[in-house]
């Protein structure tokens, strides 16, 4: 057909599954950033579709970081923003489309965190865009995406996963996938000798 355009396939993913991937993305990124957190839930509450409890620092912890060296503040802000973005990124990777629905609060929190480092709007915009891409790259790594999918499945089955168990799931997937990658590398190396 002349003049027609092809559309990319859009995955029709049920809302609960999108929420599970969203919350799993936050949790996996928190693990990658060396952060602890409480329960992960896909039970709607307080105006949200789901949540990861306790990954944000307390006000006292934030004040302590802000009073310390700038490098420490930069690491903290970068880590927080990537955790906030990871839910949105994971959901968009699962569905194949980028939507703001359900991510408004996370994106607002990320923007607020960026103001702690950069007053200039253009610099702040470039910084958060860079972090969004870093977050996407991190979650696109096979091991990390497998961890997101496994944790999302656990959420769909159980609705609430305790933080300690979630971290164990992520660690287990990383070990298994890491061993698989090593085995593939060794097999490829033995084929070339």
CATH code, 76: 1.20.58.760
Q: What is the mean pLDDT of residues 44-68?
A: 75
Q: Which two tokens stand for residue 34?
A: 């060396």
Q: How far is CA 93 from the centre of its chain?
A: 11
- When comparing pLDDT for 82 and 190, which is higher? 82
Q: What is the pLDDT of residues 79-100, one digit of tens each?
A: 999 999 999 999 999 998 877 6
Mean pLDDT across the chain, nearest whole number? Answer: 83
Residue 177 in domain? yes
Q: What is the pLDDT of residue 8?
A: 42
Whether residue 10 lies inside any domain: the answer is no
**How deeply is 146 buried, as exposed, middle or buried, from its count of CB atoms within 10 A (0-12, 13-18, 19+)?**
middle
**CB neighbour class for 117 (10 Å; exposed up to 12, middle 13-18, buried from 19):** middle
How far is residue 5's CA from residue 109's CA, in Å, rounded to a whole number? 38
100-155 pLDDT, tens digit each = 666 778 888 888 888 888 889 999 899 999 999 999 999 999 999 999 999 999 99
Return the pLDDT at 189. 56
Task: Give me the domain span that covers residue 176.
Answer: 15-192
CA distances from 155 to 8, 23, 27, 78, 139 (A): 28, 9, 11, 27, 18
* Confidence check: pLDDT of 7 > 70: no
- Is the whole model's pTM more than 0.85, yes or no? no
Reply yes or no on whether the pLDDT at 190 is more than 60.
no
Query: Is the predicted pLDDT of residue 61 greater than 90, yes or no?
Result: no
Kindly state whether residue 7 falls inside one of the protein's structural domains: no
Query: Is residue 178 predicted with pLDDT exceeding 80?
Result: no
DSSP state of 116: T
In a domain, 4, yes or no: no
Q: Residue 164 phi/psi, 5° resolution?
A: -60, -45
The per-residue pLDDT for 2 is 44
pLDDT at 50: 87
pLDDT for the residue 181: 57
**What total number of domains does the chain contain?**
1
Has residue 96 been placed in a domain? Answer: yes
1 belongs to a structural domain:
no
Q: What is the model's pLDDT at position 45?
A: 85
pLDDT band at 1 (very low <50, low <70, confident <90, very high): very low
Of residues 173 and 98, the one with the higher pLDDT is: 173
Tokens of 96: 């194949």
pLDDT at 3: 46
């Amino acid at each position: 057909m002349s003049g027609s355009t092809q559309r990319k396939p859009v995955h029709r993913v049920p809302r609960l599954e999108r929420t599970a991937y969203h919350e799993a993305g936050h949790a996996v990124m928190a693990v990658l950033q060396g952060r602890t957190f409480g329960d992960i839930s896909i039970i709607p509450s307080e105006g949200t579709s789901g949540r990861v409890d306790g990954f944000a620092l307390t006000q006292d912890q934030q004040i302590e970081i802000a009073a310390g060296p700038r490098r420490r503040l930069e690491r903290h802000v970068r880590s927080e923003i990537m955790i906030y973005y990871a839910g949105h990124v994971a959901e968009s990777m699962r569905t194949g489309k980028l939507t703001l629905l359900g991510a408004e609060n996370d994106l607002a929190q990320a923007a607020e965190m960026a103001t702690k480092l950069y007053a200039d709007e253009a610099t702040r915009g470039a910084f958060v865009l860079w972090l969004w891409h870093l977050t996407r790259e991190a979650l696109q790594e096979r091991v990390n995406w497998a961890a997101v999918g496994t944790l999302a499945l656990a959420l769909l089955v159980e609705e609430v996963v305790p933080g300690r168990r979630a971290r164990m799931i992520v660690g287990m997937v990383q070990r298994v996938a890491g061993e698989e990658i090593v085995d593939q590398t060794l097999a490829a190396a033995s084929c070339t000798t």
